[in-house]
Amino acid sequence: MKPIKVTLHHLALPLKRPFQTSFGKYVIRNTIIVEVEDSSGEVGWGEVAVDEGPWYSYETLKTAMHIIGDFIAPAIIRKELNDPTELQEKIRHVRGHRIAKAGVEDALWDLYSKLLGKPLYKMLGGIRDYVECGVSIGIIGDMDMLIESVGKYLNEGYKRIKIKIKHGWDVDPVKEIRKTYGEIPLQVDANADYDLEDIEVFRELDNYNLIMVEQPLSYDDIYDHSILQSEIKTPVCLDESIKSIYDAKAAIKLGSCRIINVKPPRVGGLLETIKINNYAEKHGVGIWIGGMLETGIGRARLIAAGTLSNVKYPCDISSSSRYYEEDIIEPEWVVRDGIINPLSKAGIGVEVVEERLNKYLVERKVYR
């Protein structure tokens, strides 16, 4: 592979309905689609799943544009790469900014898989051709609406329900869901809203047989989570705290979690995802793949990652139609009976619809 052009498409896609977490509310999904053109004429697509501000992580849309445009693109343009795993070597001098790096790595994986004529999930060493899907429900704030929403997704066949929680919206919604739907597969995600002083909340949640409690404490913490995990029986799952294989090792060795939500963008891409998959597997810690409201391009990468060997829980992968009126790819991703399948075509397997790329475009930057 020899990239000759990198194009960053900043898009703004309206969400069908707002998605609320403990750290903020998504109304429009801003995202950066990365297009890498190879000297052979083939192109690869990736997505930088970043927020406008430093909400989920410290990275922002502008920092990602800056880091890719000023540092990553120049490191790969007109450079020969034998395969996508060589990217990280070439950008070793760029510290952090893993979400930005992952978007470029994605595009190289798609490009490389297309050049070899293989589907992405096979390139990654995926061991099955399906992924079990769960749904992540934002903070709704109205109990009746929450209960209705849970029922709707159960009817659609999602394999488990995850609800977002925050101070003041935690035990009650869980109690209501259990009252209405009984022992359905249920878990919660706090997006780091609590600290150890709130341990009583988790002791109470411990009575509801949750599959896991995701990222209860600080986004940067590993140690306090080990204390929490030792005090409750519900498995702690880390999301924000695990930014690399090094964090995964520390968390597993400290007993900070029994499950990891691996988001390929957060950890810097699919290569790091595979490293974490393998390390966690060796240590008996199951993983699953989380999402960031991705368009069909980023979603394709989640689906591919969802076929890895140590994915032991349903992943946060919904149908394209759950979030968007129209996705920017064809065919759109559809979850049926709680299952989604990677496509057997080369690369991510879906086509980007140029006209929709233009329709949602905010800004486009081209690097050669």
Which residues carry out catalysis? 164, 263
**Residue with smallest beta-carbon separation from Mg ion:** 239
Q: Distance (Å, rounded) from C-alpha 353 to C-alpha 331?
A: 10
Residue 153 CB, nearest distance to ligand OSB (Å)?
11
Q: Are 97 and 275 in contact (CB under 8 A)?
A: no
The helix/strand/coil state of 307 is coil
Query: Each residue of 39-66: b (16+ CB within 10 Å) or e?
Result: eeebbbbbbbbbbeeebbbebbbebbbe
Residue 73 CB, nearest distance to ligand OSB (Å)?
26
Chain residues in the site for ligand OSB (CB under 6 A)? 21, 56, 136, 189, 191, 239, 290-293, 316, 318
Region from 115-123, 231-239, 292-300, 328-336 binding Mg ion, contact rule CB under 5 A: 231-239
Binding-residue total with Mg ion (CB under 5 A): 3
Q: How far is CA 235 from CA 147, 245, 257, 258, in A?
A: 24, 20, 7, 5
Residue 239 CB, nearest distance to Mg ion (Å)?
4
With respect to ligand OSB, which residue has the nearer C-beta, 318 or 320? 318
The residue from 239, 247, 272, 294 that contacts Mg ion (CB under 5 A) is 239
Q: Which does 3 bind (CB under 5 to 8 A by kind): ligand OSB, Mg ion, none?
A: none
CB within 8 Å of 142: residues ≥ 6 apart: none
Region from 9-17, 143-151, 211-219, 271-279 binding Mg ion, contact rule CB under 5 A: 211-219
Residue that the structure tokens 């990677």 belong to: 342
Residue 307 CB, nearest distance to ligand OSB (Å)?
17
Q: Are 308 and 127 in contact (CB under 8 A)?
A: yes
Q: Distance (Å, rounded) from C-alpha 76 to C-alpha 92?
A: 12
Region from 196-204, 234-242, 292-300, 332-340 binding Mg ion, contact rule CB under 5 A: 234-242
With respect to Mg ion, which residue has the nearer C-beta, 7 or 215? 215
With respect to ligand OSB, which residue has the nearer C-beta, 15 or 115? 15
Q: Which does 293 bind (CB under 5 to 8 A by kind): Mg ion, ligand OSB, none?
A: ligand OSB
Q: Which does 264 bind (CB under 5 to 8 A by kind): ligand OSB, Mg ion, none?
A: none
Q: Which of residues 166-195 bind Mg ion (CB under 5 A)?
A: 189
Region from 91-99, 108-116, 207-215, 248-256 binding Mg ion, contact rule CB under 5 A: 207-215
CB within 8 Å of 155: residues ≥ 6 apart: none
Q: Hey, which residues does 24 pair with through a beta bridge?
A: 21
With respect to ligand OSB, which residue has the nearer C-beta, 56 or 121? 56
Considering just the CA atoms, what is the radius of gyration of the chain in Å?
20
CB within 8 Å of 123: residues ≥ 6 apart: 109, 112, 113, 116
> Is 51 an interacting residue with respect to Mg ion (CB under 5 A)?
no
Q: How far is CA 295 from CA 17, 341, 352, 357, in A?
A: 15, 16, 11, 11
With respect to ligand OSB, which residue has the nearer C-beta, 136 or 149? 136
The four Cα atoms 262, 264, 268, 269 give a dihedral, to 10 degrees, of 140
With respect to ligand OSB, which residue has the nearer C-beta, 37 or 240? 240
**Residue with smallest beta-carbon separation from ligand OSB:** 291
Q: Report the 10 Å Cβ neighbour count for 147.
A: 17
Summarize as ranges the residues that interact with Mg ion (CB under 5 A): 189, 214, 239
